[in-house]
Amino acid sequence: MIITVEKSEREYRLSQVRSLLKKKEYKALLFVADSYLGKKGSLRYLFDNHLIHRYGYGLILDDTQYQILPSGLHWCTDRRVPDTLFPKDHEALEVVRRLKQHNVQNGKIGVVGLNNTMKLEDFKFLQRELPEIQWEDASIAFEEVRSIKSEAEINGIKEANRIIEEGFDKIIENIRSGMTEEEAVSVAYSTVHALGAKDTLFLTLSSENPGEVEPYFLNPRPRVIKENDYLIVSLEITGPSGHWVEHSRMFCFGERDVEMEKMAGLVAKGIEYAEHAMKPGVKVTDIQAEVEKIAAAEGALCGHLTGHAIGMDVIERPFVARPAELSFIGVEVPTGDDEQLLYLQEGMVISFHPQIMNREMNKSAYMSDVFVITKDGAERLSNRSHEVILIKGR
């Protein structure tokens, strides 16, 4: 089991980030992270720190690096995490002190998370204390670096996928009508954590009406699963190496509904298409467009986000999605700033999860698999069938 990052892997990641310093002519790179599931991966990538509370900064200079955390986090941060500071006053003050110590008081500094994670009061303080610095959002530039996974990262993702599938196997073994959604997925929590999972995000899609699933993701509810219900279960976890994976399948608890099975078949067809189509050089927006055609040919609708890269954050670029005329960093669709991240490359890891629904929006299907992009195409990490899993007579 992978426990932590090897020194050689950490040095490789730092060298990749420092290549960004040189390419963008930055004097430094400042990484902003908080404990929200989609915004803390940068500190895990750089310092192997699983941030479990509050927020933190990573400061990368030409010849050194610092992780700067609030003083209160000294009690919940692994002391083996290298290059970590706990200033007694405030972490923004420590960022300024370290920049001045290294004579970085003018020029450009790239900030990963500037526009969608950094606290406004911290940013205003940095501007006031370092008025000659030009602060530039470097989030997408960093995505270009981390979108290509190393061999060690891919091994970590495969380990996480093995764990999540064992958790899903336990759900299949135990789930039945008469239990609540919460009870149905609870066995997966203990299974994946016993095997080394850290963060978990479990979601379900269901309906109060038998033979239907509304296209809304919710936490598992105290709703009792009834005969002839359909239920979609989506598991997302980080494995021991800090990498996210997703795994989702559909259940039927009695008589199969013709239209629900049709929606599920379209999702399966979309995943099968992607497995053959995803290879280096393919444009991700073209894959989204093709899945939309698969749905439209049968009079169905397709969700706007069919897939995305996955790694130390649960959603990373590139987005397999419908492009938008927007320039907001936080939107999960390709924008005008994503030009360098529109094409698949060897080493990318994609979570692919079409959501297809009827036009009345009362019957929907969703399943997910993780793919590693190799020089020859896409390697699906799961062998599980995309057939709706029938649970009957338990």
Please tell me the total number of residues recorded for the chain in this structure. 394
- 3-class DSSP state for residue 321? strand
The last residue of one of the domains, among 118, 146, 174, is 146
Does residue 3 have a pLDDT over 60? no
Over the stretch 331-344, which tens digit does the pLDDT of each residue have? 677 777 788 899 99
Pick from 96, 125, 146: which residue ends a domain? Answer: 146
Same-domain status, 37 and 91: yes
Same domain, 133 and 188: no
77 domain residue, yes or no = yes
Residues 82, 3: Cα–Cα separation, whole Å: 16
Nearest to 364 by CA among 270, 226, 262: 262
Amino acid making up residue 30: L
Quick one: what percent of the chain has pLDDT higher than 70?
A: 95
1 assigned to some structural domain: no
pLDDT band at 328 (very low <50, low <70, confident <90, very high): low
Number of Cβ within 10 Å of residue 326's Cβ equals 13
What average pLDDT does the segment 269-293 reach? 97
347 shares a domain with 278: yes
Query: Tokens representing 185?
Result: 């997925």
Q: Are residues 138 and 172 in the same domain?
A: no
Q: 252 and 164, same structural domain?
A: yes
Q: Does 184 reside within a domain? A: yes
Give domain status of residue 293, yes or no.
yes
Domain extent at residue 250: 151-390
**Residue 2's pLDDT is what?**
39
Q: What is the pLDDT of residues 58-78, one digit of tens each?
A: 999 999 999 999 877 666 555
What is the pTM (predicted TM-score) of this model?
0.95
Name the domain boundary from 115, 146, 177.
146
Tokens standing for residue 229: 């219900």
Q: Are residues 199 and 138 in the same domain?
A: no
Give DSSP secondary structure letters for 91-148: HHHHHHHHHHHTT--SEEEEEETTTTTS-HHHHHHHHHH-TTEEEEE-HHHHHHHHTS
* Domain shared by 157 and 133, yes or no: no
C-alpha 183/C-alpha 181 separation (Å) is: 5
Q: Are residues 157 and 279 in the same domain?
A: yes
Cα→Cα distances 101→84, 98, 251, Å: 16, 5, 59
